[in-house]
Copies of this chain bind each other. A is one copy, B any other.
Amino acid sequence: MSTAEETAGGEMQPWAEVTPDAARRLLVAAVEAFAERGYHATTTRDIAGRAGMSPAALYIHYKTKEELLHRISRIGHDKALDIVRSAAQGGGSAAERLTDAVRSFVRWHAGQHTTARVVQYELEALGPEARAEIVALRRQTDAAVRGIIADGVAAGDFDVPDVPGTTLAVLSLCIDVARWFNVDGPRTPDEVGALYADLVLRMVGAKE
């Protein structure tokens, strides 16, 4: 199963890397259940039921509900880091790389908003070890964006008095797309990405 499997809309199937099929169906069911009722209100029985399986079948793949959340969070955070790292390591000026990072990060948070909400809002339900792992991934994502902004400042392309604070704001702006994005709303993920890339270039005082 290729991890690059795409739907007609060009969105990555976020769980394509999860095998076998039963494990993937359970993960998708868990994302939906957590998004709808919250982590604490969801039972493994609910998740198994949504996936059309028995609770016993669930335990073959996941020992606990937390293991499901951890797996979802890990895949989501790996993907987020992957997106900003590709942009950071791409060619071009800092402005071009920042544009690329914001556009892809926004597209992911809009296109996968249900997953992104679970990943972002249920962080505190993870146990200490799992949480430490996820926090480390978040720090790397933050560092990749901070690196692009710092490069732009060093090259004289950006004017940023507070690089860590601006990095935080840029990531926060993109992440919150998962909260408000509505598939029936007036803007496509690509349009939000383009708008946000322009706003972020303004935030960093990019020279025209």
**A199 in the interface (beta carbon within 8 A):** yes
**A62 in the interface (beta carbon within 8 A):** no
Mask: chain A, 20-44; 1 = CB below 8 Å from B; 0 = not: 0000000000000000011111000
| A172: contacting residue among B177, B198, B202, CB under 8 A | B177
**A157 in the interface (beta carbon within 8 A):** no
| A41: contacting residue among B41, B168, B175, B205, CB under 8 A | B41
**Number of chain copies forming the complex:** 2
Distance between Cα atoms of A203 and B173 in the complex (Å) = 12
Q: How large is the interface on A (under 10, 10 to 19, 20 to 34, 35 or more residues)?
A: 20 to 34
Contact check, B168 vs A180: say whether CB atoms are below 8 A apart: yes
The interface centre, meaning the residue of A120, A166, A177, A180 with most chain B CB atoms within 10 A of its CB, is A180
**A79 in the interface (beta carbon within 8 A):** no
7 pairs from A and B in contact (CB 8 Å cutoff): A37-B40, A40-B40, A161-B198, A162-B195, A166-B199, A169-B195, A203-B203
Where the two chains meet, the residues of A that have a C-beta atom closer than 8 Å to any C-beta of B are 37-41, 120-121, 161-162, 165-166, 168-169, 172-173, 175-177, 179-180, 187, 195-196, 198-199, 202-203, 205
Contact check, A165 vs B39: say whether CB atoms are below 8 A apart: no
Distance between Cα atoms of A179 and B109 in the complex (Å) = 15
**Which 3 residue pairs are nearest across A and B when measured between Cβ atoms?**
A38-B38, A40-B41, A176-B176
What residues on B are CB-neighbors of A180 within 8 Å?
Answer: 168, 172
